[in-house]
Amino acid sequence: MKNFNKTLIAVSVALASTQTMAAGFQLNSQSATGIGRAFAGDAVIADNASVLSRNPAAMALFDEKQLSMGLTYADVQVEVQDVFVNSNLGEIHYGSVDDAAEAKVIPNFYYVSPVNDKFAYGVAMFSNFGTGTDTTDLSNNMAMGVLPAPIDLLGKTEVTTINFNLSASYRINDNLSVGAGLDVIYGSGVLTRGGAMPSAQGPQHLDLVDVDADGIAFGGIVGAVYEINADHRFGVSYRFSPEFTADGTVMSSFVDYEEINIPIPDIFQVAGFHQLTDTFALHYTAQMTTWGDFHEITLDPGQVPLKKYAWDDSWLFSVGGTYTLNNNWTLRAGYMFDQGVVGEVSSISIPDSDRQWYTMGATYNLSKHTSLDFGIAFVRGEETQLTEQSAILGLVGQQMPSLGDDLGTVHATTTSNATYYSIQYNYKF
């Protein structure tokens, strides 16, 4: 028991600089129309009020009030397979988690109101960031009855954000419009790390990290639309994101803190729309997210480093088409390549890879003023072989050198896929 207590003290010191937090948690689920076309051209198409999530300047394209609201059901499948470490005794395996993510329902709401032929305003509610994984099932799987699992890497990670937006647009001339908006972002997060550790009395549960916190932060967005003519136009926008501060339960390494600070990346995008025939339009988007800004998570008081990252800015590219079948039905489809954010530092808690999006959707006009949108997206990630350093197993390796000098390097195979189902109601006043 004495040696076990010494191990706990050593672990508490080591975890201050090695604990992991949520990663790569951007969402693309803001509307059914966007999902149906892989968000290609969403910053400039302006076929309903959901354009507010991408570009406030596009409100200048509206000549009547519009309301859009909907739900997206995200069925996320995350697999963490064959977690193991190498030792002088051979590979030591801790098992797999076939379903490490929970499905989510993501709501949205948008309202656009033109005031005159120059000025418009809008309000919106949607989400740009969120994630959820749970690998707790592996945290009690001790090998040979004495070797703990990498419990500093295993547990629950959940991030939820809601963006409340107020925006305005101004038409400068027949070709150019500009817009800007204020974001009030509510966020909450849950992070747990812990599991079974050996002791003289048998396995004993140890909580290493326990975070359940929320808070409010402020950001903004600016944008512009340039119309060559009624059938060809381009849009650009830049969303400024804050460093998010949350308070509540914030415990790490047996120390209670007041706040956790998480930097949120900015989002830049350009989009184009071209009505090529009376019935067919082509549209596209290029979007960059500054995940390189997500460099460090800290705890207050003291700006104590919790985790440093080595992430890369990421791009997504999408192309889509819209076909007007008749007066009642409009069909759409799209493809997106979504680049992963993880560079040299990978994470079991939030698996990340390049993703391919295959999407389709439709609009049905119930009346002159009312329509329903439907969208479905199949998101397929790559199987990824990752390694991550466990402070817990590293310390065990130091105390038991006969097991080898690489005991702290944890290996796993991860796959992350998703299917999005979305429905949206639109009303023109």
Domain ranges, ordered by start, for the chain: 2-428
- Which is more confident, 377 or 139? 377
Residues 136, 208: Cα–Cα separation, whole Å:
13
What is the per-residue pLDDT for 15?
A: 34
DSSP state, residue 52: G
The number of CA neighbours under 13 Å toward the Cβ of 363 is: 26
Main-chain phi, psi angles of 146, to 5 degrees = -135, -20
Quickly tell me which residue has 């990824």 as its tokens.
384
Phi and psi for 28 in degrees, rounded to 5? -125, 85
Could you tell me which residues come within 8 angstroms of residue 429 by beta carbon, excluding any fewer than 6 positions away?
64, 65, 66, 67, 369
Binning pLDDT at 50, 70 and 90, where does residue 363 land?
A: very high
Question: pLDDT tens for residues 265-304?
Answer: 899 999 999 999 999 999 999 999 998 877 778 888 888 8
- Crossing angle (nearest 10°) for helices 2-15 and 391-399: 140
Cα 232 to Cα 349: distance, rounded to the nearest angstrom: 43
Contact 57, 98 (CB under 8 A): no
pLDDT per residue as tens digits for the range 259-275: 988 888 899 999 999 99
Mean pLDDT along residues 166-188: 96
- In contact, 207 and 196? CB cutoff 8 Å: no
Nearest to 35 by CA among 6, 61, 84, 70: 70
Higher pLDDT, 205 or 108: 108
Interval 167-175 mean pLDDT = 97
pLDDT, greater one: 80 or 336 = 336
- Contact partners, residue 141, CB within 8 Å, separation at least 6: 94, 95, 149
pLDDT at 399: 84
Q: What is the pLDDT of residue 171?
A: 98
CATH code at 2-428 = 2.40.160.60
User: What's the rounded Cα separation, in Å, for the pair 151 and 138?
Assistant: 8
pTM across the whole model:
0.87
pLDDT at 428: 95
What percent of the chain shows pLDDT beyond 70?
Answer: 91
- Average pLDDT over every residue of 414-418: 88
